[in-house]
Chain A
Amino acid sequence: MNVLNIRNVTKTFGDFAAVDNMSLSVREGEIFGFLGANGAGKSTTIHMVSSLLKATKGEIEVLGKNIAKHPRFAKSNIGIVPQDLAIYEQLTAYENVQFFAGLYGLRGSLLKERTEEALEFVGLGDKAKSFPKSFSGGMKRRLNIACAIAHRPKLIIMDEPTVGIDPHSRNYILQSVLKLNEMGCTIIYTSHYMEEVEEICTRIAIVDHGKIIAEGTKEQLKSIVTDTKEIWIGVRSESNISVEKLKNVPGVVSVRIEDGQIKLQSKAEVNNLNEVIQQLIQDNADIRSVEEQAPNLESVFLTLTGRNLRD
């Protein structure tokens, strides 16, 4: 069964089409990755699914019901974890979760039980009476999640829930997402971190200029990329390396330098490794390692959209 169906949906703001005739489906029990650069149309899509915006054209169904006709039903079955923290600093962690869960009609002992359950789930059970101002960034992110799950939604939309937090909290959140999924929740997950999407998502859609340009499992997406290869070259000194000169090497598509590694994308049919290394030697880079990477989502994204996800 599909938890979400988006059929030929368009959303325009004046003359600009933020979402352009988009169609996609999310099946029950999936962790669905929704990838796109800033301005690609993912937030607009998420806002339409959450009934925050109305589609200009097309229809959206949540659990088989059209959200335009049954907005309360759709809203009751969706939990949204916004990209920016959406909590009240003057309320305790418990009061925050209790308030948002209360908006979904929970009352009395059930509200209390679900509030405590949600806080326990995100590891803030012992911080129930604390105010968010005393929380770390990771704890606030976890509270942000607790506020979205206390009413036990069938579909949870997580919009970059790990932005700006420490690795420990990020790991905790990723494990929580997997646990929620095991508990029967369907999850739509957007992130700028490809490794997160690769790690947890069962199916992925890549959106660009308001359209879905690729959709499938990780393996299916990676199989799209057959015409590019990625080469990682480890160097001791990166200060003298000229990115522009490397980009001028025939076949090289893109170059980026991260943590002492030069990450090159190159056309698969061009054998240019010798020229790349020669250029690096000229730039006095002390080469430590050279390895060709198997295609990953980053390279898939780059190939399909012509830009990095974080651009």
Chain B
Amino acid sequence: MIILHIARKELLRSLRDTRTFMFMLAFPIVLMLILGTALTNAFTTSLTFDDLKLAYKLEDPESQASGYWNEFAKSIEQNGVLVTPLSADEDGKKAVKNGEYAAFAEIKNDGIEFYGSNKLTVESDILQGMVSAFANRYSLAAAGAKQDPASLETLLSEAGSGTYVKETSLQGDTVPDSMDYYAMAMSTMIAFYACMSASQLIRGEKVRNTALRLAAAPISKAELFAGKVIACTLINFLCVIVVVAVSRFAFGANWGDHYGPILIVLFTEVLLAVSLGLGASYLFSGEGGSSAVMTFTQIASFTGGAYFPVNDMTGFWAILAKISPLWWANDALTKIIYSDEVQALWPAVLFNVIFAALFLSLSILFMRRKEAL
């Protein structure tokens, strides 16, 4: 009962500490908005470009190959490629160099010569793929025609169906865009920020002189400790829930379908942060605890992926990233949200709970040694 009495007071006090409370809410939301908007291109997997311009020249307009090329040209025009025939006196290569076309193809009886632009590389590569597909199909058809002339028609008749361009993506549809990523990263970051308020739980009472009254009251240190930890965990978890809700409903961030496991990961991360903050406040005297916690939080946020994705890091930086509690949480959430791997919550939850227990035990040990608070 006394624990709830203490927790109630802590909750009231924290909720009315509008400056700190607003910081805990506004900071991640604003940062999410800024980074999520500003770094949109860094996360996108699609490219947009203007019309693909392909120039070509036929060595022998009457040849069979030229006939099929014309079919092919019509086909790719339907896919948005601007195909332009050049006259005999026009220099296709020069036109490509001047940027008038992305590529130039010269269709000869013995093959196709292709010149791609070194400025419009993406467009040139796409056109090269299309022309190669045509050339391969034509070669195949020509080889097949020696055995069965009817197959030539069958193979090349598909030219009009647009099968020269086939998109194959190595990534699934559920890849986080910038807002999705920062919604997750800011939520795990603000969950970890709980350690800063936790480092002030006991120190704050000393600064306010209320520590003396609390120590003089007929309550045990354990009751006081439990009340404060419960309240601090709840209030910080509430902040995390608000940040998640805002990111989901105001910014449309993708949090997947497994809200239960996601909230469990975030809750245990808050618990870990609170325990860490408390432990630090006992390990370091005076303001040392808060400073140490502040520094560690910033480093852990930076290396754990709060400001940019760190999954592609290698070597030393990868090791540094993986010892950040934020990385555990981000990794688990990514798997839960984008791969539906609900069981990925367990490593993160286990890490969080084990370290939380360790830091809480340390705090209790130090607290018992002290005469007052």
Chain A interface (Cβ within 8 Å of chain B)?
47, 50-54, 71-73, 75-76, 78, 80, 82, 84-91, 95, 99-100, 102-105, 107, 147-148
Given the contacts A52-B372, A54-B371, A82 and B209 also touching, CB distance less than 8 Å? yes
| Interfacial residues of chain B within 62-100, with CB under 8 A of chain A in the complex | none
Q: Which residue of A lies closest to B224 (CB)?
A: A103
**Cα distance A47–B208 when bound, in Å?**
17
5 A–B contacts from the bound complex (CB under 8 Å) = A52-B216, A52-B371, A82-B213, A91-B13, A105-B2
Given the contacts A75-B217, A75-B218, A86 and B210 also touching, CB distance less than 8 Å? yes
B214 within 8 A of A: yes
Q: Which residue of A lies closest to B9 (CB)?
A: A99
Given the contacts A99-B5, A102-B5, A86 and B217 also touching, CB distance less than 8 Å? no
**Cα distance A87–B216 when bound, in Å?**
14
B167 within 8 A of A: no
Docked-complex contact A87 and B214, CB < 8 angstroms: no
Chain A residues within 8 Å of B210, by CB:
86-88
Chain A residues within 8 Å of B312, by CB:
none
Interface of chain A: mostly helix, strand, loop or mixed: loop
Partner among A50, A80, A87, A90 whose Cβ is within 8 Å of the Cβ of B16:
A90
Partner among B12, B17, B208 whose Cβ is within 8 Å of the Cβ of A95:
B12
Docked-complex contact B1 and A107, CB < 8 angstroms: yes
Chain B residues within 8 Å of A52, by CB:
212, 215-216, 371-372
Chain A residues within 8 Å of B371, by CB:
52-54
**Cα distance A90–B210 when bound, in Å?**
13
Chain A residues within 8 Å of B313, by CB:
none
Chain B residues within 8 Å of A71, by CB:
218
B219 within 8 A of A: yes
Given the contacts A53-B372, A88-B13, A88-B208, A72 and B215 also touching, CB distance less than 8 Å? no
Chain B residues within 8 Å of A95, by CB:
9, 12
**Cα distance A104–B1 when bound, in Å?**
12
Partner among A85, A103, A147 whose Cβ is within 8 Å of the Cβ of B218:
A103
Q: Which residue of B lies closest to A79 (CB)?
A: B216
Instruction: Please classify how large the interface on chain B is, using the bins under 10, 10 to 19, 20 to 34, 35 or more.
Output: 20 to 34
**Cα distance A107–B2 when bound, in Å?**
10
| Interfacial residues of chain B within 181-236, with CB under 8 A of chain A in the complex | 208-210, 212-219
**Cα distance A102–B216 when bound, in Å?**
13
Given the contacts A54-B371, A87-B210, A103-B2, A78 and B216 also touching, CB distance less than 8 Å? yes
Given the contacts A75-B218, A103-B219, A147 and B13 also touching, CB distance less than 8 Å? no
- Name the distance in Å between A115's Cβ and chain B's nearest Cβ: 13
**Cα distance A86–B217 when bound, in Å?**
13
- Nearest 4 pairs of A and B residues by beta carbon: A103-B217, A75-B218, A90-B16, A86-B209
Chain A residues within 8 Å of B2, by CB:
102-103, 105
**Cα distance A91–B8 when bound, in Å?**
11
Known: A52-B372, A89-B208, A99-B5. 6 other contacts (CB 8 A): A72-B218, A75-B218, A87-B210, A88-B210, A99-B9, A105-B218
Q: Which residue of A lies closest to B371 (CB)?
A: A53
**Cα distance A73–B218 when bound, in Å?**
8
- Name the distance in Å between A159's Cβ and chain B's nearest Cβ: 9
Chain A residues within 8 Å of B218, by CB:
71-73, 75-76, 103-105
Docked-complex contact A100 and B12, CB < 8 angstroms: no
Partner among A54, A103, A148 whose Cβ is within 8 Å of the Cβ of B5:
A103
Chain B residues within 8 Å of A90, by CB:
12-13, 16-17
Docked-complex contact A100 and B217, CB < 8 angstroms: yes
Given the contacts A52-B371, A52-B372, A100 and B213 also touching, CB distance less than 8 Å? yes
Chain A residues within 8 Å of B214, by CB:
103
Chain B residues within 8 Å of A102, by CB:
2, 5
Chain B residues within 8 Å of A84, by CB:
209
Q: Which residue of B lies closest to A148 (CB)?
A: B213
Docked-complex contact A80 and B12, CB < 8 angstroms: no
- Name the distance in Å between A311's Cβ and chain B's nearest Cβ: 24
**Cα distance A89–B9 when bound, in Å?**
12
- Name the distance in Å between B373's Cβ and chain A's nearest Cβ: 9
Q: Which residue of A lies closest to B5 (CB)?
A: A102
Given the contacts A52-B372, A54-B371, A75-B217, A91 and B1 also touching, CB distance less than 8 Å? no
- Name the distance in Å between A85's Cβ and chain B's nearest Cβ: 6
**Cα distance A71–B217 when bound, in Å?**
10
Chain B residues within 8 Å of A53, by CB:
371-372
Chain B residues within 8 Å of A147, by CB:
213
Partner among A82, A103, A104 whose Cβ is within 8 Å of the Cβ of B212:
A82
Given the contacts A50-B216, A91-B9, A103-B2, A86 and B17 also touching, CB distance less than 8 Å? no
Chain B residues within 8 Å of A73, by CB:
218
Docked-complex contact A80 and B9, CB < 8 angstroms: no
**Cα distance A251–B1 when bound, in Å?**
66
- Name the distance in Å between A12's Cβ and chain B's nearest Cβ: 13
**Cα distance A207–B208 when bound, in Å?**
28
- Name the distance in Å between B369's Cβ and chain A's nearest Cβ: 12
Chain B residues within 8 Å of A78, by CB:
216
Docked-complex contact A86 and B9, CB < 8 angstroms: no
Chain A residues within 8 Å of B12, by CB:
90-91, 95
**Cα distance A78–B213 when bound, in Å?**
11
Docked-complex contact A80 and B216, CB < 8 angstroms: yes
**Cα distance A73–B9 when bound, in Å?**
24
Given the contacts A82-B209, A86-B208, A88-B208, A75 and B216 also touching, CB distance less than 8 Å? yes
**Cα distance A78–B212 when bound, in Å?**
13
**Cα distance A52–B218 when bound, in Å?**
11
**Cα distance A73–B372 when bound, in Å?**
17
**Cα distance A89–B218 when bound, in Å?**
23
Docked-complex contact B5 and A86, CB < 8 angstroms: no
**Cα distance A73–B210 when bound, in Å?**
21
| Interfacial residues of chain B within 1-57, with CB under 8 A of chain A in the complex | 1-2, 5-6, 9, 12-13, 16-17
